Amino acid sequence: MEQDTKSLIIDIATSLFQLKGYMGVGLTEIIKTCNISKGSFYHHFPNGKEELLIACLQSISDAITGDIKDFFERYPTAEEATKKMIEKLVDNFEREGTIAAYTFTSIVSEMGALSESVRNTCSALYIRMQEIYSAKLEADGFSKEAAASTALMMTATIEGGIILCLTQKVSDPLKIMSHELPKLLKKI
């Protein structure tokens, strides 16, 4: 089955941004990898590279929240779901040397100060993630407020853990998170 040009561009660009960051990848490299011309590219993205970036961020965002939802539906408690989810991140990192969620962290760090729409897109993803965590924690018996605070802690800790793994090129940080985080997820 043939993929249409627009989604081809999004897929290729997403993985290139993941590898080298937004500014680290030129349009020329993107269209070369896609085997298309500049004319074709600007037909699909009249507002250029930043429009493409937003499309990529939305595509990754859907993939990530889809993944998270799967885990939080499959396992009975937030604690178990979180453990399994982090195990998958570790697995991914050890096999491919990268983590999809990291692209977000990376790009909001790089572009958040320069582009409001990029910052908003990234902000929306963090909120979507927290909402999934929070709902499960409430189902586990947490109060609304406690669930929200804890969901925020989870998001921050996992994001931070991913950064440490990528920076130090080892998977230990996330592994340690996976047995430290549950301490916060037990209802007291």
Partner DNA sequence: GTCTATATAAAGATAGAC
Partner DNA sequence: GTCTATCTTTATATAGAC
26 binds DNA (CB under 7 A): yes
In the complex, the smallest distance separating the C-beta of residue 107 from DNA, rounded to whole angstroms, is: 14
Q: Estimate the crossing angle of helix 100-111 against helix 49-74, to 10 degrees.
A: 140
Residue 48 binding partner per list DNA, a copy of itself, none, with a CB distance cut-off of 5 to 8 Å that depends on partner kind: DNA
In sequence order, the 6+-apart residues with CB closer than 8 A to the CB of 66 are none
The answer to whether residue 28 forms part of the interface with DNA (CB under 7 A) is yes
Q: Which of residues 11, 15, 33, 42 is near DNA by CB under 7 A?
A: 42
* Residue 156 structure tokens: 């921050």
Please report whether residue 95 would count as binding a copy of itself according to CB under 8 A.
no
Among 37, 109, 123, 143, binds DNA (CB under 7 A): 37
Q: Give yes or no for residue 131 binding DNA (CB under 7 A).
A: no
SS3 labels along 11-69: HHHHHHHHHHCCCCCCHHHHHHHHCCCHHHHHHHCCCCHHHHHHHHHHHHHHHHHHHHH
Q: Which does 40 bind (CB under 5 to 8 A by kind): a copy of itself, DNA, none?
A: DNA
Cα 85 from chain centre: 13
Radius of gyration (Cα) for the chain, nearest Å? 18
> By CB under 7 A, is residue 2 in contact with DNA?
no
Selected binder of a copy of itself within 37, 117, 123, 143 (CB under 8 A): 123
Q: Token pair for residue 73?
A: 């539906």
Match 């990848």 to its residue by tokens.
25
Where do contacts with DNA occur on this chain (CB under 7 A)? 5, 25-29, 35-40, 42-44, 46-50
Where do contacts with a copy of itself occur on this chain (CB under 8 A)? 19-21, 23-24, 102, 105-114, 119, 122-123, 126-127, 149-150, 152-153, 155-161, 163-164, 166-169, 172-173, 176-177, 180, 183-184
